Structure 1
Amino acid sequence: MANLTEFFTELNTDAKLLETYKKDPEGAMKNYGLSENEIKAVLSGDAKAVSALAGDIEMKAFLLISNHTK
């Protein structure tokens, strides 16, 4: 199973994945293999939940992704 940190890293390096994510975030995360808990945390914008699941205390990857799509 993929993990959230790998997904964020991949979004930063794979333009096709990023375009898919912009169009359908939930679908892109499901196709990547993220768990329902990870998907819900990202979609909710709950920084504490995402940080706990990703292990990214500073939330650098999540902030980049969430701010990019707004």
Structure 2
Amino acid sequence: MSKLLEFMTKLGEDSAFRDSYVADPDGVMKNFGLTDAECKMIRTADVEGIKKTLGVEHVYLNVHVPPHGNDEIK
């Protein structure tokens, strides 16, 4: 399983992980091992980019992506 798919699955299934993500999205994504490009796709809710990266036709995002002032990883 790709890291991105694993991350998205965990967000949907693990409420403690999701709470950690909501509190510190950049830190959680970085600690999980997502690439800069994957982090940017998640931060900007780039559904087309996520679908292309995962090689799927449909992606269901059921987690609110907190707004960010920019799309740079700190």
Normalising by structure 1, report the TM-score: 0.76
Q: Structure 1: 5+ residue runs without aligned partners?
A: none
Normalising by structure 2, report the TM-score: 0.73
Q: Is the 8 A contact 1:41 1:49 kept in 2?
A: yes
Partner of 1:42: 42
Give identity over the alignment, percent.
30
Please list every run of at least 4 consecutive aligned residues from structure 1 whose deviation after the TM superposition is greater than 2 angstroms.
54-57
CA drift of 1:54 comes to 2.8
How does 1:1-70 map onto structure 2 within 5 Å? 3-60=3-60, 63-66=61-64
Residue correspondences, number: 66
Q: Structure 2: 5+ residue runs without aligned partners?
A: 68-74
Amino acid at match of 1:52: K
Distance 1:45 1:12 in 2: 15
Distance 2:15 2:45 in 1: 22
Distance 2:22 2:44 in 1: 15
